[in-house]
Amino acid sequence: MTLRPRSGQAVAIIGAGPIGLELAVALKRAGIDYVQFDAGQIGATMQWYPPEMLFHSSADRLAIAGVPIQVPDQQKIKREEFLAYLRAIVLQFDLDVRTYERVESIDGRFTLHTNRGTYEASEIVLAIGAMHAPKLLGIPGEELPHVSHYFRDPHTYFRKKLLIVGGRNSAIEAAVRCQRAGADVTISYRRDDFDPTSVKFWLLPEIRSMIRDDRVRFLPRTWPVEIRERTVLLNTGDELAADFVLALTGYRQDTTLFEMLGIDLQGGDRKPRLDEETMETNVPGVFVAGTAIAGSPEERVRVIVEDCHVHVPRIVHAIQRRHARP
């Protein structure tokens, strides 16, 4: 299959998270042809967030394309509400999003090969996000069935011994919610204490009170060295009983497409090199939008959706100028 847009030029947007969808709306409003792909469903990363999770950002800061988000209690928006909002955006603007279509390779300038066909594009925008796979512990037993890198439902851990590995936001949220759901929770964290800049502000007082009242056991300066069927061996030599292990130690970005296109990836986080005024990378015609600009931070998440709305007008303006050249 070869894409043949009306204008003879089309922008390929890879990724259909909030900023990718906002960009699609902006391109459509500007009369610029585009084709949009996502290897999963729209907002795919948010699908593996736990049920009823509250976003850190307020609803007004998450809104895209000038469409307000209304929530009944005027509080933080939940995962389910935001996914419903994204579906409504696609319907309202009649966006053509080719979901479950993975871009497998890119060659020439620019020929995209997906699991369903081949497309030609005049520009490419990588809006792929920054969390594609967990950062593995790399220890024996990590592959066992009672070990997970994703926190989905607190009910799973009711009246079970749960070891949570990590001390940033996802780990603390899991600890709080699982303890409330009746789990016997222990946290193993390699640092002395939690970093307030890495945990939602309303969770810190809750986890500290749980630890103070012995409702959650906290083991600072520890980490697992081996996971066994019913126990976990720590670096201290202690062996903990554990029915389940949640290894919530962060996530990494899949940089395959960046490397395929020849984009410079800089520093320990491997952030793509780009012009912040246009969001264009060192490869002419290739742009990056959304949290994909962050690379794979070793510590806390440094770029969130509310920081990225400004990327959209920058990219649209840059593409308009490129298309206006004789």
User: 11-133+251-324 belongs to which CATH class?
Assistant: alpha beta
Q: Indicate the domain borders of the chain.
A: 11-133+251-324, 136-247
CA separation for the pair 28, 205 (Å, rounded) = 45
Confidence of residue 297 (pLDDT cuts 50, 70, 90): low
Residue 21 neighbours by CB under 8 Å, 6+ apart: 42, 64, 65, 86, 89, 90, 95, 97
CATH superfamily of 136-247: FAD/NAD(P)-binding domain (3.50.50.60)
Residue 217 neighbours by CB under 8 Å, 6+ apart: 185, 186, 187, 211
pTM of the model: 0.88
Quick check: do 11-133+251-324 and 136-247 share a fold?
yes
Confidence of residue 63 (pLDDT cuts 50, 70, 90): very high
CA separation for the pair 45, 214 (Å, rounded) = 34
Mean pLDDT of 267-272: 88
CA separation for the pair 23, 64 (Å, rounded) = 9
Q: Which residues are 134's β-sheet partners?
A: 251
pLDDT at 4 over 80: no
pLDDT at 144 over 70: yes
